[in-house]
Each structure stands twice: as structure tokens, then as C-alpha cells.
Amino acid sequence: MGRAGDGGKGVRFVVKDDQKNGTPSIEGTVNRKGGTCAVCNSAVPFTHIRSEGKAGRMGQQLMAIVAEGHRGRKYMEATEEHITVAKKARPEWAPEHEFPHNPRDFKTPNYGMSTFADLFTPRQLVALGTFSDLVGEAQDLIRKDALASALSEERATAHADVVATYLGLAVSKLADASTTVTRWKPSMDQAIATFARQAIPMVWDYAESNIFNHAAGDYETTLSTMVRVLRSMRVKTPGSVQQKDATSLGNGSVPPIISSDPPYYDNIGYADLSDFFYVWLRRSLGGIYPEVFGTMLVPKSAELVATPYRFGGSKQKAQEFFESGLGAAFARMREQSNPNYPVTIYYAFKQAESEKPSANGGVGGDDYGVLAVASTGWETMLAGLMDAGFQITGTCPCARN
């Protein structure tokens, strides 16, 4: 699929084999400076593209079909039948929740795509909604089979809930590979996930996977990957997980050993971004975990992050909120930590770099460049540790491959 302002009426795409015909690769029509008209080759500034998108005049056009061939993938020209079939999809439900005002992590609102529903085609919404609803049906059938095998009602319900949880998690993972910002990776001949980093970008050419293709973007493949992990697990000791405020840590019979990965100032909007998965998890698993999915979206008011848009645009208020919250959390860790073990803090924040919009932006004009200045995030974190009474005994750099 590709973005097209006129719904595809003025442009026809032809598939050519570069290796066979010796034709050079064609550059894309969008770069850091703006777009290029595919018809007249004129430059189109981002201001115009964004205004057209926000006015509802940005559409989609099917460019090609990728099928399984004799020795690899086969690229074919789209037909009217393919286009007609795609347009027949009529979803019964869509996550019509508005994106937060978070321009750093959400790029699609610049182009009029301002709700989670806007990230999916009607066909994708039908598929994800159907799979979400089938999780509940599968749960009922599993419970009935368990009761028929002489399990107690309590154990049968627990068994069905566990299996349904994994089925719901697989739907959530499938959503990551089923959006209109899913990228196509030519070197792998497949679509890859929406999230390459902690942001929802704008993508101009996207791939809509067949969810029954027995490959990436297929529900069965997504589920089998999870099953493979479960089968390889060798842990016998049961564990427990609790969701708690860091300031209420401890008060158990044994002082805890603390290893923490605290929030990164304003670097990542975890709660905002987690709504992408939450809306689908809530639909499939809300009946099993009503205490977790009791709100329409993820609760955000208590999230320890210095995002000005939650404080009327005030950077000072956002910083004060973050500093006081982080200080309270560190103080509680200091009080409750096990004295026989050090407290370890992981903080993946570049010490001498801070992000600011680049002069031209990235593809779509939305990427951030890097400016060499002091990092407020590091400063705040280290000051919080010292103010809480901790003594820093060592730091270790961590490399990422």
C-alpha cells in the first residue's frame, strides 16, 4: 500500500524486475525536505502535505501484491479485484481514542491520523477485532473441556484464563505487525513491526500482511513463537509480579534487593505508547482482568515523566513533578533496601546529548537531531540519589549491539 492524495485515480504502478531489465532503482517521493509529485515531479512542501492530511484529503493506493513464488517472493501488479475486495471490509468496532498531545512520540497527527483507529485499514480492524472476540470464545470452550475432564471448577477456570491470556497477548503482538505504519523490509521480503523505536512514526509506503500467510504478520506464527519460548523454559520455582507505586515499596518480612530502571525524564512516553497495545488487550482480556483494564486507556496522571503537555505546556512544572516524585521513590528505596546488597540503577540516557528538532527533520520532517549539551535527565537522577542518602560506589557503561 502507499499514501495517495487522490485515492489512486491519477497514478498507476507497474512492477519491473531491476535485475532482468537493468533499470536503475527509483528514489522515493518523500525525503527530509518534503515530497515530490509522482505525476509532474514538482516539489511538495510538508506544510501542504500536512494541511491536506488534516483536511481529510490523504488516501491510500494499492501499489503491488507480494505472493509466494517458486523460488521466493513474487511481486505482481494490483488488480481492480484486489482493490474492491479490500474496500469491502466493514469493522464492527475500532479504537477511536484520540492520541495524546505528544508530538515527540506521535508523528501521524501531523497528517490527520489522530486516533488509534487511524493506524489500521478496515481489513486490519476486522481481523484484529475478530481475533480479540475469539479469545473469549476460546476461553469458554477451554473451561468446558477442563470441567469435562474432571477438573474442579476453580482449576478449570484458572486453566482457561491462563490459555486465554496468551491468546490475547498474541493478538496484541499481531497488532504491532498489522498497521498502516508497518514497514516493508526488502532485504527480508516481509513486513516488519510498527515499533522500530519508542514512537509511532509516519510511514509513506506500508505493507498490509495476510494474517493467514504462515509467516511474519500471521496470527499462528505469532502464537507459535510464544509457545516455543514457554516450551523451552526450565524454571520450576513459582514467581509473583505486583504493580505498585515505588513510594510504597517494602514493608515485607525480608528487606528487598533492589534493581531498578527508573523513568528517563522526558525521553520516553511509556504510558502514552502503551495505549497502542492496551486498547486490544482490554478488548480480549478485560473480562479476565477487570482490575487491570478498568479504564478506557492506561492511567497516566501518576506516571513519573517530565512531559510539559501534561502540565499545560510548563517545562518548570513538569520538571518539579519529576524531581519530587523521583526523590520520593529513591528515599523509599534507601529506607527499605537490603543492607547486605547494593542498589543497582540502570539509566540509559546519553550524558552529553539532548534531543531537539533537526533543521530539516527526518523522513516526514518529524525526526529529532542531537545537540551536544548537558543532560537534565542525568543531572536529576544523580541529584535524586544523593539527596536520598545514597552513596554512588561505581558506574558501569553498557553497550548495545
Secondary structure E strands in 163-322: 183-185, 190-192, 259-260
pTM listed for this prediction: 0.83
State the Cα–Cα distance between residues 155 and 146, nearest whole angstrom. Answer: 8
State the Cα–Cα distance between residues 111 and 89, nearest whole angstrom. Answer: 23
Q: What angle do CA 72, 73, 75 make, to 5 degrees?
A: 145
Q: Is the dihedral of CA 212, 216, 219, 223 positive or negative?
A: positive
State the Cα–Cα distance between residues 17 and 212, nearest whole angstrom. Answer: 27
pLDDT for res 384 = 85
- Transcribe 216-249 into DSSP letters: TT-HHHHHHHHHHHHHH----S--------GGG-
Query: Amino acid letter at 5?
Result: G
| Chain segment 159-175, per-residue pLDDT in tens | 999 999 999 999 999 99
State the Cα–Cα distance between residues 193 and 177, nearest whole angstrom. Answer: 5
The ranges assigned to domains in the chain are: 1-88
State the Cα–Cα distance between residues 160 and 139, nearest whole angstrom. Answer: 5
Contact 114, 136 (CB under 8 A): no
pLDDT by residue for the chain (401 residues), tens only, comes to 556 554 445 688 888 776 555 555 667 788 888 999 888 889 999 999 999 999 999 888 888 888 887 877 888 888 889 889 888 999 999 999 999 888 888 999 999 999 999 999 999 999 999 999 999 999 999 999 999 998 999 999 999 999 999 999 999 999 999 999 998 888 787 888 899 888 999 999 899 988 888 877 889 988 998 999 989 888 888 888 888 888 888 777 788 899 988 887 888 888 999 999 999 999 999 999 999 999 999 999 889 888 888 898 899 999 999 989 989 999 999 999 999 999 998 877 655 544 454 443 444 555 444 444 456 667 777 888 888 888 888 877 776 65
pLDDT for res 61 = 87
State the Cα–Cα distance between residues 251 and 292, nearest whole angstrom. Answer: 23
At how many degrees (to 10) do helices 122-148 and 153-176 cross? 160
State the Cα–Cα distance between residues 198 and 263, nearest whole angstrom. Answer: 13
